[in-house]
Amino acid sequence: MKNLVIGILAHVDAGKTTLSESLLYLSGKIRKLGRVDNKDAYLDTYELERARGITIFSKQAVFRIGDLQVTLLDTPGHVDFSTEMERTLQVLDYAILVINGSEGIQGHTKTLWRLLDIYQIPVFLFINKMDQNRAEREELMAELKKQLSDRCMDFGQTDTEHFFDQLAMCDEGLMETFLEKGRIENSQIQKAVKMRRVFPCFFGSVLKLDGVEEFLNGIGKYTEAPSYPKNFGARVFKISRDEKGNRMTHMKITGGRLKVRDIVSNGDWEEKVTQIRIYSGQKYEAVNEVKAGTVCAVTGLTRARSGEGLGEERNIYSPVLEPVLSYRVVLPEDCDPRVMLPKLREVEEEEPELRILWNEQLKEIQVRIMGEVQLEILQSMIKDRFGIDVSFDSGRVVYKETIANTVEGVGHFEPLRHYAEVHLLLEPAARGSGLEFAVDCSDDVLARNWKNLILSHLKEKVHIGVLTGSPVTDMKITLVSGRAHNKHTEGGDFREATYRAVRQGLKEAESILLEPYYDFQLEIPEKMVGRAISDIERLHGTCRISQVSGDMAVISGSAPVSTLQNYQKEVTAYTRGQGRLFCTLKGYDVCHNAEEVIAAIGYDSEKDAENPTGSIFCANGAGFAVSWDKVKEYMHVESWLKQGKSHENAKDEKNRANPDKWITPDEVDRIFEKTFFANQGRKTYLQKRRPAAEENYSRDVYVGKPREDKEEYLLVDGYNIIFAWPELKDLAKENMDSAKSRLLHYLSKYKSVENINVIVVFDAYRVQGHPEEVIEYDNLIVVYTREAQTADQYIEKFAHVNKGKYNITVATSDGLQQVIIRGEGCALMSASELREKVKMTNEGIINAFREKQAVDRNYLGDAISDEAKRRMQKLVD
């Protein structure tokens, strides 16, 4: 049996619920057709829905026709409940889009079409109300092709040459089949519909059951059953509570099977399923097991959230629509807001289009919604469920912020025994793109685990701007540099540094305030077009006359939500009830009165203790705060932007002649004086090296305390050097073992010339159960660290334990390790310096060999007497 999950969507008043009733009636699921105006529709199960005559919550019904079983999900059509509709899309196999034939393509219809495209859901269209005077089939098909897709096809007359000819125009594969065979097989049409290459269109009048049966047969004929994996997976799309208050988790099984008492997990938690229900309208059937493709509700899960993936299903759901209006919840005088907050959280859990916020400073509850109708519904729900009468203030729109220029944000967190520094590149992005996070920082600069942690911290928080404290958007944030400390860095340190880096960057950037905009369609008498256009200009919108039909005109355009949200009342007044305004959310754009809004909100980013803009550094054994505008004077890592790198060619720059992130001795000393010796009044007596290019690779010149005459040791951070030397890095991409062998070969030659012991250390800390391994390679000592120990840790330990016995030099380009090693009184050598020294040593060996060959070479003239030479010369002459 073919099992499909099909959602039904429409602009309000297009006849969506009536079509659902008709499908259930024709399938035999119900015996009597219900009607919205009679308040007896099968799927309008809530009293609020029956009272208002609109669908507020998504519901399901299961029916069969032949070998087809359909789980029908009815979704709200009103724009205020669009997020309730959107969360249903993630579990659909197919969608039915109902269009009002007498009205044509309306504003919200385009929003639905855009969402169906984003979620890549195959669509069947039913054009309703064709019995009304204004509905013309040919004109409507032309409008569908123009405003939705030219792949919309009239499926009223199939199996004709004209039908196949038009169908072939939608897809190259269909065209080839048609040219070859003169017809197109049904299986190919099924595939084209599934791949969204064709959108079947059916026409009729639902109230008269005209065309509904043909439409239902078309669904059975032109759909194909999806395939599912064997392992269990599920997608949660809704949370609700039954009449007894039991928490219901609604999900679609996307793989394997689910049984009662099974343990399910999302990776972070595990809980047991105690009951499985399959709903159809208000009634449900309790079952012991469900298979893939089934939509069910389960009890026992207390931590699952809408949009979450369970089992093999991943958490990839990210809603497109979001609330744009914010209201303060006004509670009765005897109601404590802290007591009311968890109750509202319960409602928010069930209705994710509601955003319940607690303002700690004002000690008040705020709610974000899509529209005023939703506000009325929320008020009724709170009264019915909790018996509390609440009201709301006049409200305001939800603003957002973005930036206009590229900046580097720096965050540093270094109270005593803590350490983290983060550098983030903040770049403006296209309007409506949201936030994007990326990494452009090598493992040599910052370990992969730290980079992953920083990314998770970037994603876990709603970052707010510095103009009004509104969420930031339309921005790309790239991790470009940072630093950790092997002993003192903890996970929470990077959280603080990351948040502060974002805030510091926003303070430096040129911020822009954004506000939400509506796309609108205004239907008014033609004689009032002038008044309407004048109003739209006054409301800071743009518009055009898109259609004139008889004595009515349609004006389309966009305008700020803040100015347009109450305009319907004006339209009703000056058109005496003849005008209608349809609005859909367009997105965010530059605020038309930014200065006025910023002044009215009065947000002070410097006084926001929960979102600090400055950083914490350490001196004299204690942390101290540095304001955002001074942070870059104290930062420990060089500015990424000041290195003269564009974001695009940063990686190429790293592979040029000097790939090291070398920290100068002066900089290391400065860091050291501020940390380790800050409260001791000590000065470092570290050996200073000039860069190799300056000293022409001569013997190092030291300042401060001279080195004692001790045995010399050179410790080499193996992988660090491999990825710093271009020739070894390229070789490592093909074969890491070859790169290691080549490095050891070079160092072996170097060791044979220099009177120094060479220890090469390689990481093996990720190899499970690996013990520390020390081997001899020619004249070198090679160390593979044990599990959970890095090469850095081994080198630092060796330096600490043996600094009194040996003169130790460490070859690395790890900036943090340089600081630590110098703190142990050891010498440093950068990767490029070591490379040049090895190169010079090899060249010296070759030159010495050639000179020796020249000295030791035997010639015939040296072995014969002068008399013999004269005789030989006469023979030549």
Last residue of a domain, one of 591, 606, 628: 591
822-860, pLDDT tens digit by residue? Answer: 667 788 888 888 888 888 877 766 666 556 555 555 555
pLDDT at 145 over 80: yes
Domain check: are 467 and 453 in the same one? yes
215-237: average pLDDT? 92
Q: Is the pTM of this model over 0.75?
A: no
On whether residue 870 sits in a domain, the answer given is: no
What span, in angstroms and rounded, lies between the C-alpha atoms of 341 and 358? Answer: 8
On whether residue 393 sits in a domain, the answer given is: yes
Domain check: are 257 and 144 in the same one? no
Question: 768 falls in which pLDDT band (50, 70, 90)?
Answer: low
What span, in angstroms and rounded, lies between the C-alpha atoms of 121 and 832? Answer: 55
Domain check: are 534 and 475 in the same one? no
Q: Are 754 and 772 in contact (CB under 8 A)?
A: no
Q: Which domain holds residue 551?
A: 514-591
Q: Are 42 and 96 in contact (CB under 8 A)?
A: no
User: What pLDDT is attached to residue 656?
Assistant: 39
Among 188-197, 379-388, 634-643, top mean pLDDT goes to 188-197
On whether residue 851 sits in a domain, the answer given is: no
- How many distinct structural domains can be found in the chain? 6
User: What pLDDT is attached to residue 232?
Assistant: 94
CATH number, domain containing residue 749: 3.40.50
User: What pLDDT is attached to residue 134?
Assistant: 66
pLDDT at 684 over 60: no
418-440, pLDDT tens digit by residue? Answer: 999 999 999 999 998 899 999 99
How much is the mean pLDDT over the chain?
Answer: 83
Q: Are 254 and 275 in contact (CB under 8 A)?
A: no
User: What pLDDT is attached to residue 510?
Assistant: 96
User: What pLDDT is attached to residue 244?
Assistant: 85
Q: Provide the token pair at 264.
A: 């399910």
pLDDT at 281 over 50: yes
On whether residue 148 sits in a domain, the answer given is: yes
Which residue type is seen at 231?
N
On whether residue 276 sits in a domain, the answer given is: yes
Domain check: are 35 and 130 in the same one? yes
On whether residue 599 sits in a domain, the answer given is: no
CA 611 to chain centre: 22
Last residue of a domain, one of 398, 428, 458: 398
118-142, pLDDT tens digit by residue? Answer: 889 999 999 998 887 666 888 899 9
Last residue of a domain, one of 268, 285, 311: 311
Domain check: are 418 and 523 in the same one? no
Domain check: are 457 and 554 in the same one? no
pLDDT at 93 over 90: yes
Domain check: are 47 and 186 in the same one? yes
User: What pLDDT is attached to residue 452?
Assistant: 92
Among the listed residues 250, 655, 715, the one whose alpha carbon sits nearest the alpha carbon of residue 442: 655
Domain check: are 382 and 415 in the same one? no
Domain check: are 257 and 377 in the same one? no
Which residue type is seen at 241?
R
Check the CA dihedral 166-172-175-177 and report its sign. negative
The angle, 0 to 180 degrees and rounded to 10, between the axes of the packed helices 82-89 and 107-118 is: 30
Domain check: are 243 and 380 in the same one? no
The DSSP string of 86-137 is HHHHTT-SEEEEEEETTT-S-HHHHHHHHHHHHTT--EEEEEE-TTSTT--H
Contact partners, residue 309, CB within 8 Å, separation at least 6: 233, 234, 235, 236, 266, 315, 316, 317
Domain check: are 240 and 95 in the same one? no
What span, in angstroms and rounded, lies between the C-alpha atoms of 141 and 2? Answer: 30
598-607, pLDDT tens digit by residue? Answer: 999 999 999 9
Contact partners, residue 436, CB within 8 Å, separation at least 6: 429, 475, 476, 477
pLDDT at 668 over 70: no
On whether residue 672 sits in a domain, the answer given is: no
On whether residue 677 sits in a domain, the answer given is: no
Domain check: are 419 and 433 in the same one? yes
498-551, pLDDT tens digit by residue? Answer: 999 999 999 999 999 999 998 888 989 988 999 999 999 999 999 998 888 778
